[in-house]
């Protein structure tokens, strides 16, 4: 066994996962190789030091708390959906906005609109006038209704 092979097996050796033949080969190599012996010694010490650390034991009563928490949690069906949560808030605001926009259109339609600060293209102006007329007709139609 060479050093490279030996080092690749050290972890399995530490956990006693090598078969008898490979374990013997490794031990023979380590007995003659200072570098590998040193590597093994360090791994054993580190393993022992980590093994002395307290294992993660679940705190007392954790399972009961987790169970209660899970059983008491609302299911997806019980939770209000996004729309359910937002429509009660958003609907009045949307309705108010629509009313305000309609009133603004009415006011602008009767006063001739806001004067433009930009010199208007005559063709566009005609189109714009047409549009205004159309809007006025729509608004009138609404009023008649």
Partner 1 sequence: MRAENNGNDLELLASRAISGDQAAFGKLVERTQRVTYPLALRLVGGQAEAEDVLQDAYIRVWQGLSKLRDRGAVLGWICRIVRNVAVDRVRYEQRRPSGGDALIEYIASDDPGPEQAIADAEARCALLDLVDQLKQKHRVVLLLREVDGMSYEEIAAALGCKIGTVESRLHRARKQLADKVKRQMRAQAKESA
Residue 44 · residue 17 · CB < 8 Å: no
Give the span between the Cα atoms of 33 and 6, in whole angstroms.
Answer: 10
Shortest Å distance, C-beta 72 to partner 1: 9
Query: Which CB sits closer to partner 1, 77 or 141?
Result: 77
**What is the chain's alpha carbon radius of gyration, rounded to the nearest angstrom?**
41
- Taking CB under 8 A as the rule, does residue 69 contact partner 1? yes
- Taking CB under 8 A as the rule, does residue 99 contact partner 1? no
Q: CA nearest 69: which of 80, 61, 77, 57?
A: 61
Shortest Å distance, C-beta 59 to partner 1: 7
Among 28, 35, 63, 137, binds partner 1 (CB under 8 A): 63
Site for partner 1 in 38-57 (CB under 8 A): 39, 42-43, 45-57
Shortest Å distance, C-beta 14 to partner 1: 7
Q: Where are the alpha helices (DSSP H) in the chain?
A: 3-14, 20-32, 34-51, 62-72, 82-111, 122-144
- Taking CB under 8 A as the rule, does residue 122 contact partner 1? no
Query: Residue 60: helix, strand or coil by DSSP?
Result: coil
How many other C-beta atoms can be found within 10 angstroms of the C-beta atom of residue 29?
A: 19
Among 10, 26, 30, 36, binds partner 1 (CB under 8 A): 10
Residue given tokens 């097996």 in the structure block: 9
| Interface contacts to partner 1, rule CB under 8 A | 7-8, 10-12, 14-15, 17, 39, 42-43, 45-59, 62-67, 69-71, 73, 75-76
């Amino acid at each position: 066994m060479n050093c490279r092979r030996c080092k690749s097996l050290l972890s399995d050796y530490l956990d006693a996962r090598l078969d008898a033949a490979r374990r013997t080969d490794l031990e023979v190599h380590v007995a003659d190789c200072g570098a590998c012996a040193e590597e093994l010694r360090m791994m054993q010490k580190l393993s022992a030091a980590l093994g002395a650390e307290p294992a993660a034991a679940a705190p007392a009563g954790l399972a009961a708390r987790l169970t209660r928490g899970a059983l008491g949690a609302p299911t997806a069906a019980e939770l209000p959906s996004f729309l359910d949560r937002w429509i009660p808030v958003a609907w009045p605001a949307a309705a108010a906005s629509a009313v305000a926009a309609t009133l603004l259109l009415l006011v602008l339609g009767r006063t001739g609109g806001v004067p433009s600060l930009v010199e208007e293209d005559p063709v566009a102006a005609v189109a714009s006038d047409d549009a205004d007329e159309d809007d006025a007709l729509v608004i009138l139609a609404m009023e008649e209704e």
